[in-house]
Amino acid sequence: MIKGKVGIEYKFHLKNHKMADYDNCIKTTQDLIVRKGYIEDDRKIYEAKITKVPSDEDYIEFRIYRIK
């Protein structure tokens, strides 16, 4: 678990990329990241980079990093 202030880079690979709003993916993904124990609380996220990628498959890539 990464504690304290964090930043996250998201890449949402989506089959239906033209119809999907990337911001709809964020809250659910952040809740899952907390539930899985990667970070202590999504209120600790202080910056994020979000990319929506056209894809043949739906999946998410993310990278979490500490902020000093």
Tens digit of pLDDT per residue, the chain (68 long)? 999 999 999 999 988 765 667 677 788 899 999 999 999 999 999 999 999 999 999 999 999 999 98
Q: Is residue 62 part of a domain?
A: yes
In a domain, 29, yes or no: yes
> How many other CB atoms are there within 10 angstroms of residue 12's CB atom?
21
pLDDT on residue 39:
95
CA 21 – CA 65 distance, rounded (Å): 25
Domains of the chain: total: 1
On whether residue 60 sits in a domain, the answer given is yes
Domain assignment of residue 15, yes or no:
yes
**Residue ranges making up the domain that contains 42:** 6-66
Let me know: does 49 contact 10? Beta carbons within 8 Å: yes
Structure pTM? 0.80
The answer to whether residue 1 sits within a structural domain is no
